[in-house]
Amino acid sequence: MKREELAQKLARQSNLSRAAARDQVDELVHRILKSLREGQPVELPGVGRLVAERPLPRRVGPHGASLQAPRVTGSPKKPK
């Protein structure tokens, strides 16, 4: 699922505008990446545990918005 699709679903389910939903999705992704960069694992219920394999340098793209995502290993939840 792409960012825009996720934002559209969030907007429909929570009565937010698309712009507000997109901002919420961006904030969530930013916080997840920040935690991983700091070496903290991230637990996503129903998805699993994300852990950065090694500390990565912070890289900002040419417009200041693009951040390099760390390589992540996960332990997916097993289906019931």
pLDDT given for residue 37 in this prediction: 85
Q: Give 59 or 10, the one with higher predicted confidence.
A: 10
What's the fold here for domain 3-76? HU Protein; Chain A (4.10.520)
10 CB-near residues (< 8 Å, 6+ apart): 16, 21, 24, 25
What span, in angstroms and rounded, lies between the C-alpha atoms of 77 and 80?
Answer: 9
Top pLDDT among 37 and 11 is at 11
Q: Looking up tokens 């040419």, which residue turns up? A: 62
Question: Is the pLDDT assigned to residue 11 strictly greater than 90?
Answer: yes
Structural element, H or E, at residue 11: helix 3-14
Question: Which pLDDT band, with edges at 50, 70 and 90, does 18 fall under?
Answer: very high
Q: Are 70 and 52 in contact (CB under 8 A)?
A: yes
Each residue's pLDDT tens digit, 19-73: 999 999 999 999 998 998 888 999 989 888 988 876 655 555 555 555 555 566 6
Residue 80 has pLDDT above 90, yes or no: no
